[in-house]
Amino acid sequence: IKVENLHVHTPGMEKILLDDLTYTVNCGDRIVLTGENGSGKTTVAKALLNQWDYGSGKVGIPDNMSVMTVSQKPFFPNTTLRGILNGKPDEHPVYDDSELTWALQEAGHDRLIQHIPGQQVNILVDELLEGIERKLPMNTAKVFSDHFEDEFEFYIQSVVPKMVAEQFDIVQFVTPDAKEHIREKLNTVLDESEAVDACTDRLADEIDRALTKPLLRSLEDDIERLAAKKRGWLAPLTQHKIEFMAGSLEKQLGRYLDSYMANDDTDDKHRPIRINEFQARYVSSQVARRFIEESSQYKAKGALAKLFNILTAPISYALQLRWKAGSAALDLKSAITHFMSRQVVTGAQFEAQLSGGEKQRLMFAKIFLQKPDFLIADEITAALDVDTGEHMYAKMMDILPDTSTVISIAHNPHIRKYHCIHGHLANRDITFKPVEQSDLQTASP
């Protein structure tokens, strides 16, 4: 990168920041740029990228060089996490999801992996299978027995809900690929194909049930909210009619959820997070079960019963019962789809939810992925503690190719050790010198 007679000033020539700089930044240089506050370090960096209009001179950057600028207050486009890391719309990714997962793990952002559909589920499956292999009596000679079945059932019922609660805040589901991974792993430790199939289905179903818990909790609140708008409650019905209405509710809610999963209920064809068929059936059955529990002849005043809002005497017409069930199912479907739409966290929400340090670590993940030819890092550890900042810088320099050029703007002296050249901006000029041993000693914690 060849800089010739570069002159940089503020708008209206109020302040000259750089006067007649000529310098060549060689491929692979790692430069740390320091200077007093207000000396113009960030502005000079912008001038190097032709992002500043006030000044003169020449900056020659090779064709096809990938350039990235990261500031201490990162900007997140209003797209999904996949789009933020790729720097492209979701439908045109540059990196596959496994690469995104790797980058987030390297940046210490494991909790964000759940926002890349399927990836955190794959990690959970691997951890569960490791635990099963370690704790349960399985080997290649083992046949499926009642004893093993009991051990397996106890393990997944005690471990799966806890691990899902620790790793997930949003609804996900076991993908077909993840289920096949379970089957392949169990196939290596169980001899009987029936045993493999049974254990695979049981484990996948338990994970899917646990992953619907945020939705079911939200639905509990929504039922109370929707019922509060109704008048009266369900008139006492015979057990037969209660079961008829529960069955009708389950079927109609199931059909609505099928439409949701197929994306037939919206023009948004890129809606990325859905529930799977098993979870849809599970949610519908849980709603029907609750209706039966609170709609007995002697207690017909629960929120879900009230949602049906049958004010007349006991109804005898099946068509009328079905219509009431359909009305309630439509209300619940709207509540579910509204909740699911909030499961897709976008850039604006990341902006509000993440701390300053978390935002900076997310930008490190983007650097790890994109490995730019020319990186300008402007105080990108300002919100991190010293140890974390050093760890991120050391990892970044290790991951970036030797040919990548890095210019770091940093007040933190501990960052200096990761560079070979120290540039200091003062008196309208930048003086360059090698980073010396004395600098490294001063920078040591």
Report pLDDT digits (tens) over 43-94: 998 898 888 889 999 999 888 899 999 998 888 888 889 999 998 877 788 9
Q: What is the residue-averaged pLDDT of the chain?
A: 87
CB 164 within 8 A of CB 124: yes
What is residue 75's predicted lDDT score, i.e. its pLDDT? Answer: 86
What is residue 440's predicted lDDT score, i.e. its pLDDT? Answer: 52
Predicted TM-score of the model (pTM): 0.83
Residue 233, pLDDT > 80, answer no
- What value does the mean pLDDT take over residues 147-176? 89
Query: Cα separation of 116 and 93, whole Å?
Result: 12
**If residue 24 lies in a helix (H) or strand (E), which one and from where to where?**
strand 16-24
**What CA–CA distances, in Å, run from 441 to 256, 300, 382, 410?**
66, 76, 21, 17
Query: Cα separation of 110 and 247, whole Å?
Result: 41
Torsion of CA 159, 162, 167, 170, to 10 degrees: 120
Q: At what angle do helices 318-341 and 239-261 cross, to 10 degrees?
A: 40
- What value does the mean pLDDT take over residues 128-140? 72
Q: At what angle do helices 119-135 and 176-187 cross, to 10 degrees?
A: 20
In the structure, what pLDDT confidence band is assigned to residue 132 with cuts at 50, 70 and 90? confident
Least confident among 67-81, 130-144, 231-245, 251-265: 130-144
What is residue 414's predicted lDDT score, i.e. its pLDDT? Answer: 85
Residue 1, pLDDT > 50, answer yes
**What CA–CA distances, in Å, run from 111 to 272, 339, 362?**
18, 20, 11
Token pair for 122: 């794959």
Query: Cα separation of 440 and 417, whole Å?
Result: 5
Report pLDDT digits (tens) over 346-364: 888 888 889 999 999 999 9
Token pair for 133: 């292999």
Query: Cα separation of 90 and 320, whole Å?
Result: 45
Residue 270, pLDDT > 80, answer no
Token pair for 126: 């691997």
Query: Cα separation of 271 and 397, whole Å?
Result: 37
Percent of the chain with pLDDT over 90: 55
